[in-house]
Copies of this chain bind each other. A is one copy, B any other.
Amino acid sequence: MKNFNEWVSSIAEAGRELIPGIGRQGKKRTLPNLCHELCTSKGEAMGTALADEVVKAYKALNADGRIAFYDMLYREFSADPDEILECAEAFKEKQDRATYTALSKAIESPRLTLFRSINMAPQGTATLIQMREHLLRQLKLHPEFSGIDEDLKHLLASWFNRGFLSLERISWQTPAHVLEKLIAYEAVHEMTGWDDLRRRLAEDRRCFAFFHPALEDEPLIFVQVALVKGMAGNIQELLARPVIESDDPKPKAKSNGSQGEHPQPDFDTAIFYSISNCQAGLKGISFGNFLIKQVVLELRNEFPQLKQFATLSPIPGFRRWLDAEIENPESTIITDENRKHLKLLDSPTWTDDPACCEILQPLLTRLCAHYLYHAKKQNGPLDPVARFHLGNGAEIARLNWLGDRSANGLNQSAGMLVNYAYVLKNVEKNHEAFVNEGRIAVSSEFQKLLK
């Protein structure tokens, strides 16, 4: 069966003949022209052809061209405040279908119409996601484009609602063209190539991703899980752990010993050690909380022996916050002596110096616990990863001293990692308490660090 894109392409091809200026004989039209025509065309064939032209023209733009394009979207395709106001007044006057429809139409900005039309072109959805990715990078410099982002986000959030997502297991049996995207998208602990990937898909690991039907073979987000005994605290050890070889495709609970030749791991804990969003253009549209919960259910189903579900997570904002506190003369949590000790971090080899570590470990542990629990931004934790997992109903379980000795790990969080535990019987309660009251759940072990 021909797929959608091939088919739309052939309709677009037929319609192209009809568009003055883009048919085989004619010269190219400008992108603004095409956009305006696309919004006013009543016919479907011409519409698809125009949308396809817009997609191609957009893809051919360089950085400057794209800014000019957004500028045009801002100037010529924004909602009309006068019309909206007029419709809002009419609707206030009388609430019937006519006024409501008119108001809906007025508020549906020309941009939304344009974007919905573009979505019908071959690769339309992917193009809109890419457009938002480009646009987000410009928002700081061009705050006037934020309405465009608002429109794109509104549409994408509506289309990528979780009722339309499917969870898929990723394994060494997955097609290579999907697997290579994992290597590209892995954002937390870089994959060095196919051998590294294969290790992460071995028997004692699991990987799951969300997909959307309009983005075939394109993961939206994926999570990597290690099946281990007890809580894991060090990422380099976890990644380097040798593969347990076995004839059997699934890790199993310890067998009765008669098959001594294939020792099976007696794991009891699932460690979520990496969660990567794949589509920058879907920023702010949340999938992660659903991903983790569904993966926990999958794993429990496959391995009834699992007793704990926890992450081994980076603390990406710790050093930045710490540096600010150090600079802050009014800091209530850093003493001058602390400041002196923290200078030790400037040495590139402090982790190799036992004396250094002895001094820093209690100090940094205390400060990091404080950061995770008390540092806030708007109505949530300052640390983005903490915000994510606590928002999902996890609790802060344990800090891991020198859990990540990579350059990036030292840089972000002085090498510290944290476990967020998903305690099944508490996860919904924690989630609701966090969302509604901002309450953070912690283990008794972590509680002690807060004094």
Contacts and interface: CB of A to CB of B under 8 A. Distances in A.
A172 B161 contact: no
A169 B298 CA distance: 23
A97 B7 contact: no
A167 B4 CA distance: 8
A92 interface: yes
Interface stretch (A117-125, A303-311, A362-370): A117-125
Interface string A21-49: 00010000000000000000011111000
Contacts of A1: 167-169, 298
A165 B125 CA distance: 13
Interface in A400-424: none
Contacts of A46: 428, 432
A104 interface: yes
A447 interface: no
Contacts of A168: 1
Contact of A119 (B97, B161, B289): B161
Nearest to A17: B428
A45 B92 contact: no
Given A43-B432, A43-B435, A436-B42, A119 B88 contact: no
A179 interface: yes
Interface in A166-183: 166-169, 172-177, 179
Interface stretch (A76-84, A320-328, A337-345): A76-84
Interface string A1-27: 110100100110011011000001000
Contact of A177 (B17, B85, B173, B432): B173
Interface of A: 1-2, 4, 7, 10-11, 14-15, 17-18, 24, 42-46, 78-79, 81-82, 84-85, 87-89, 91-92, 95-97, 100-101, 103-104, 107, 116, 119-120, 124-125, 143-144, 146-147, 150, 154-155, 158-159, 161-169, 172-177, 179, 193-194, 198, 213-214, 217, 258, 289-290, 293-294, 297-298, 301, 393, 427-429, 431-432, 435-436
A428 B15 contact: yes
B45 A163 contact: no
Contacts of A165: 4
Contacts of A24: 258
A159 B159 contact: yes
Contact of A159 (B7, B101, B124, B158): B158
B124 A163 contact: yes
Contacts of A92: 81-82, 84-85
Contact of A85 (B10, B89, B155, B198): B89
A194 B18 CA distance: 46
A2 B290 CA distance: 14
B44 A431 contact: yes
A435 B40 CA distance: 12
A174 B175 contact: yes
A150 B101 contact: yes
